[in-house]
Structures are given as C-alpha cells and as structure tokens.
C-alpha cells in the first residue's frame, strides 16, 4: 500500500515564511481565531486523519467500487464510518459562517486539509467536497427559508450536496439542456429530466443529499440566458427540518469509470421532483458559477494532492530499489547495485514531481490568500485586487495543476518501472484517478478559453496587468540581489513576453476570433509556468535568507528545486510561445472531411 506523510514542513514554509499567514489571518475579521497554535493543531490533526483513516481505504475502495441496488448506492466498505468520523471531528464546518453552524476560520485552512484528503483518498474526498460549493451557492443566492432548511445541515456535513449540470446530449454547452421546471403549488416546481456524471449523486454516507439542478422554465429564453437554478433534495425536509418524504429523484445507473472507483458517479433521473428556485429566474448559470468556481479550485487541489502522493512514493521506491551502478562509479559499494535514485534520469522524474508539488502548493496558497480576502476582507481596493487575481488564477489552478498532475503521476509509474504497472503498488491508481481531473468541472480547453478570452482579453488585459505589475515590482526590487540573479533575470524577460504574447493574440483576434481558441491552451500553460517561476523566485529569496539559520538542508533543497524548475521545466515556455504565435492557420485550414482521408469511417 502506498504511504503518505503530510508535507507540514513545506506547508509551514509557504504559509508562514513566504506569505506571512499569521499577519494575513490577523488582518481578517475574526482572524484572531486562526492563531498559530490553532492552525498548527488543525494541520497536524488533519494529517493524522488523512494518513490513518483515509489512506487505508484508498486501494480497497478502488478495488471494491460502489454498488447500486434498488436505486440505492452503497459506497465501499469503511467509507461511511470514515465520513462519520469526519463529521464528528467538525471538519466540514471548518471555514463556514458561524451563523450557519460553521467555525468561521479562513477558507485557506480548509484548502490545506483538502490537499491532504486528495493525496490519500481522492474518491472519498469527493463525497464531502461538493457540499462546500453547494453551501456557498445557497449562502449567496438562496432565500432565508432555503438557508434555514438546507445550509446548516450542509455545513455540519449531516447532509451532502451535488451540482447537476451535464445531460446526455450536452456537456459544457449548458444552453442545450432539456431538464424542465414547471410551476406547481406555492413556490414549488416540478423538475423533470436526466443528468449524467453526477459525482456523489447517490450514496449511503449522509442522511440526505441536496441537489442543485440547472433546468429551464416553460417560458425561458433560448440558450444559456434561459437557465434557472433549483434546489432539489433527495428527501423533502419535514416540519422539524428532518428528512421526510422521498422526492422524485433516483439514481438510474452508475458510470463504469477509468478511475475514482470509490466515488459514485451517477446518472440521476428527476421525475416530477419537487424543487425550489434559487436566485432569479433565468439567472441560474450566474448563481451556479459560485459553486463551479469553488469546484474548480477544488479540482486543482486534487491535482496537487496526487502529485504529492506520487512524489512521496516514487522517492521511497527510488531510495530502496537497487539496479545497476552509477555512471560515475559505485555509489553504494556495500550493496550489489546502487539505488536507482543515483541515476540522472530517475532524478529528473523525481525532481519534476517535487517541483510541481512545491510549486503547486505555493500557487494554491497564494490563491487561497486571495480567497480569504474576497470572502472575509473589508470592501475596498485590497478586496477588489484580490477578486481580480482570484478570477485570473482560478482557471490556472484548475487546468495547470491537473495537467502537470497527470504528468507527475505518469512519471511516478515510470520511476517504479514494471512494478508501476502492477496494481498492488498503487501507482497506476494515481494515474487513473488523475486523468479525470483534466476533464470534470470544465476541461483544460474550457479553462483556457476562460483565462484568455474572458479574464484577459475581455478586460482589455487589465486583469493580467494586476498580476504582471506585481511580478515586475518584485523583479525590480531584487534586480541587484546577487543571490537571486539566476531567477530574477529570466523571470523579468518572461513577464514582459507574457504581455507581448497577450497583445499579439488580441490583435489577431480582432481579425479572426478563431485565434483565441487556437492559442488558448498554450497560453494557459505558458501562464502556469511563468506563475510558478514567480513563486519559486520568491521561495528562493526566502530560502537564501534563511540558509544562515537552522534547517539548512531544507532551505538548500528549496534552492536546488527552484534551480531545477528554472533550468529544466521553465524552458517549456519557449515551445508554448512559439505555438501561440503560430496562430490558427494550420488548425483551421483542413476541412472536416479531409481529416479522414486515407481510411473510411
């Protein structure tokens, strides 16, 4: 079975030394509750729960999967008991509003817990994962009656939530949905339709499931402007707020998936199910975006957790596995062969995982600070800036970390060699689980269009400028620092190039809108690599200052990892830049018929 130790030392380096989280928390309303002692206790206890409760269920849950009988879904053995421990420990309510039964701590703390959960049992983590987004959507857009009926139960984890968007005939293009909502008595609606790919749509972990469902009213406009949002519980709450009459919501089937077998991915049938409108009519997509944005950050953290899990187990195996001698001679002469960690290519794979894990953690925690300010900060310039950066970086967190997450888990299999292909070692499960992260909550292509088309070009580049100005100020301030020259000089050039590439795409798009789609994925990946370069430069600054103190080995390793990133991973930006500049011509030149020349379909 794979092993896992939460990377608490690295988390504390990023939180306390790089981003000064103690001062950050102190600046938030009620932030004094997140004292260093409280934060440390939460991280350590979360690490214990993930390692001792969730990790032992990961492989068995993958092998057993979920079972559908008579419309009821049973999660793998141990999942329900683990969920009960999770609820009893107060984990679901960590960052929720105290008025709804939450503990009122900053969202960034919950995001750190989420990394540990994703690293140890991604499939299990998806059951409570969407509940946070459902609660956010109801908190922002629900009526007082809806909040009273559902919000506290979701916050406490007694009930779980889902988001029901996709239908058999449409995925991302939600304007094509066919699910209907017909007004009936009072403020209720009869919801009829079929939704697919619904994570945790039916299970036995909680006493009720609250579905947030996109549907169209009878007089709705065509397309996405005619979508409304409804809350549709599995059991209708009775007069006391407890689960009462069974609603017209059933699981038609379970999807047979490549990975995340321990999570129930359901086809959900709504047959005149009773639902209630959330937010204004025909404005459901805007309301659902509250939940979707939370889910996108969550999926990015899934990518990070899987990178960390893959790296830790690859490292352990590489230290123990003996094969051949080092190219420069025997490294372990007392043994019949050297550990494979001495070989340069194995080190390349390990360092790739290590760099993406540490860089991804910096990205998540940088973004988490922005989320804290947006959710809890005072209105004003600082909050506006945080909201801009959060909007800009959310698609990068989601797409970049899941792309490099899939790469990193594949490298993990490669480190193990033939053993990586064998189920017992657990590495191939990480690959299978990682593959879905590039798809759900919006594919990489969709995130890329959101970043380039919606966030950057539609703002005339202003949202990007907020971030590139920050990078520029850092480079200018550290320009004469000899310890950082190897980082600052290439970062400054890339930061300037980022703006030039953006302007180039924007100019081309004025003549041909296909240019945005043609450049978008390379643009997102370029953006991700430059963003991590900025964060590694900041990490290198802190590490170089701290080398003179205690824990020299940690800071020296941080500097070496930063150098590896700059020398071996950051050059990928050159290829992405060339592909961005290549334009749409070769992509759009061929007719759809010509794609199949040479064979018959």
> Which residues are known catalytic residues?
441
Q: CA 213, 217, 220: angle at the middle one, nearest 5? A: 120
Q: Which two tokens stand for residue 376?
A: 């809890």
Of 72, 9, 501, the closest CA to residue 253 belongs to 72
**H-run or E-run covering 26:** helix 21-26
* Distance in angstroms (rounded) separating the CA atoms of residues 20 and 421: 42
* Distance in angstroms (rounded) separating the CA atoms of residues 405 and 430: 10
Q: CA 387, 391, 392: angle at the middle one, nearest 5? A: 120
Phi, psi of 35 (to 5 degrees): -70, 160
311, 357 Cβ separation under 8 angstroms: yes
> In angstroms, what CA-CA distances link 110 with 96, 283, 479?
10, 29, 36
Q: Which two tokens stand for residue 520?
A: 């978008």
547, 555 Cβ separation under 8 angstroms: yes
Q: Which two tokens stand for residue 334?
A: 């007392």
Residues in contact with 412: Cβ distance below 8 Å, sequence separation at least 6, in sequence order: 310, 311, 313, 314, 349, 353, 420, 427, 430, 431
Half-sphere exposure of 192 (CA within 13 A, CB side): 9
Instruction: Kindly report the number of other CB atoms within 10 A of residue 553's CB atom.
Output: 8
């Amino acid at each position: 079975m794979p092993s896992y130790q939460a990377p608490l030392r690295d988390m504390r380096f990023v939180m306390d030394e790089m981003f000064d989280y103690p001062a950050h928390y102190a600046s938030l309303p009620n932030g004094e509750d997140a004292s260093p002692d409280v934060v440390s206790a939460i991280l350590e206890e979360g690490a214990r729960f993930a390692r001792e409760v969730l990790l032992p269920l990961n492989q068995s849950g993958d092998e057993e999967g979920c079972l559908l009988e008579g419309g009821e879904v049973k999660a793998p053995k141990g999942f329900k008991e683990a969920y009960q421990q999770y609820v009893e420990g107060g984990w679901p309510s960590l960052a929720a509003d105290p008025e709804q039964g939450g503990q009122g701590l900053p969202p960034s703390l919950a995001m750190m817990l989420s990394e540990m959960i994703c690293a140890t049992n991604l499939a299990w983590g998806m059951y409570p994962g969407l509940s946070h987004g459902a609660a956010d959507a109801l908190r922002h857009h629900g009526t007082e009656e809806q909040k009273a009926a559902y919000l506290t139960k979701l916050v406490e984890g007694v009930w779980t939530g889902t988001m029901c968007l996709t239908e058999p005939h449409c995925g991302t293009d939600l304007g094509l949905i066919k699910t209907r909502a017909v007004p009936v008595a009072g403020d209720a609606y009869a919801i009829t339709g079929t939704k697919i790919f619904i994570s945790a749509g039916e299970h036995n972990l909680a006493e009720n499931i609250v579905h947030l469902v996109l549907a169209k009213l009878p007089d709705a406009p065509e397309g996405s402007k005619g979508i409304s949002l409804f809350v549709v519980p599995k059991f209708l709450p009775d007069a006391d707020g407890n689960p009462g009459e069974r609603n017209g919501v059933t699981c038609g089937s379970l999807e047979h998936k490549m990975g995340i077998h321990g999570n129930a991915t359901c086809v959900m049938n709504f047959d005149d199910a009773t639902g209630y409108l959330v937010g204004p009519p025909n404005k459901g997509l805007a309301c659902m975006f509250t939940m979707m944005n939370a889910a996108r950050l969550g999926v990015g953290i899934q990518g990070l957790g899987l990178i960390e899990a893959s790296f830790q187990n690859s490292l352990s195996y590489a230290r123990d596995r003996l094969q051949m001698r080092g190219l420069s001679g025997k490294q372990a002469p007392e043994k019949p062969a050297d550990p494979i960690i001495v070989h340069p290519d194995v080190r390349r794979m390990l360092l790739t995982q290590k760099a993406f894990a540490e860089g991804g953690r910096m990205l998540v925690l940088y973004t988490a600070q922005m989320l804290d300010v947006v959710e809890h900060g005072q209105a004003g310039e600082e909050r506006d800036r945080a909201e801009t950066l959060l909007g800009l970086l959310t698609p990068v967190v989601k797409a970049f970390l899941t792309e490099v997450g899939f790469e990193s888990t594949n490298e993990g299999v490669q480190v193990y060699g033939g053993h990586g292909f064998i189920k017992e070692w657990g590495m191939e499960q990480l690959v299978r689980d990682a593959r879905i992260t590039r798809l759900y909550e919006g594919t990489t292509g969709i995130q890329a269009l959101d970043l380039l088309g919606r966030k950057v070009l539609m703002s005339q580049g202003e949202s990007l400028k907020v971030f590139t100005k920050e990078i520029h100020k850092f480079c200018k301030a550290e320009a004469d620092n000899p310890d950082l020259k190897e980082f600052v000089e290439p970062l400054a050039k890339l930061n300037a190039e980022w703006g030039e590439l953006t302007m180039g795409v924007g100019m081309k798009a004025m003549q041909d809108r296909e240019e945005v789609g043609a450049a978008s994925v390379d643009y997102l990946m370029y953006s991700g690599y430059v963003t991590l370069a900025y964060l590694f430069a900041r990490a290198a600054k802190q590490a170089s200052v701290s080398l003179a103190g205690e824990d020299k080995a940690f800071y020296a390793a941080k500097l070496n990892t930063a150098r590896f990133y700059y020398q071996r991973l950051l050059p990928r930006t050159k290829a992405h830049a060339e592909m961005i500049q290549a334009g749409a011509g070769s992509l759009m030149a061929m007719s759809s018929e010509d794609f199949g020349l040479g064979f018959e379909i």
